[in-house]
Amino acid sequence: MRDTTLLPSALQRPSLTPIPRLLLSRDDAALSIGLSVRELDDLTSPHGPIQCVRVGRRVLFSLNALQRWIDQQTSKS
C-alpha cells in the first residue's frame, strides 16, 4: 500500500468509515465470546444451541445469535 501522507490533501483519498460487520466468521465469533473454534463448533446448531448462517461452505454467526446464547448462559446461573 502506498503512503499518501506526503500528497496534498486534495489528492488524498477521503478516510472511509468502517462498515460494521453483521456476520462473523467462526474464528472471529469464537474469539469474541472467548471460546476455541472447536468449542464453538460443538455449540453450533444442529448439535448445539447457537444458530448459524451457512453460505456455501462458510459458517457465519450473527452478533444477535451470539448475544442470545450469552444471555441464556447468564440467566441459568
Q: For 49-77, write each residue's pLDDT tens digit.
A: 999 999 999 999 999 999 999 999 998 76
Residue 63 grid coordinates:
452478533
Task: Identify the residue with better confidence: 19 or 55.
Answer: 55
Q: Where in the sequence is the domain holding 32, given as residue range(s)?
A: 23-76
Give a yes or no: residue 36 inside a domain. yes
The mean of the pLDDT values for the chain is 87
- DSSP element (H, E) containing 65: helix 63-76
Task: Identify the residue with better confidence: 47 or 38.
Answer: 38
Backbone angles phi, psi at 74, to 5 degrees: -75, -30
Give a yes or no: residue 47 inside a domain. yes
Give a yes or no: residue 35 inside a domain. yes
Q: For the chain, first and last CA: distance in Å?
A: 49
Contacts of 37 (CB under 8 A, 6+ apart): 26, 27, 30
Give a yes or no: residue 61 inside a domain. yes
Give a yes or no: residue 6 inside a domain. no
Looking at the structure of the chain, the number of domains it has is 1
Q: In what order do the strands lie in the sheet with 58-62?
A: 23-25, 58-62, 53-55
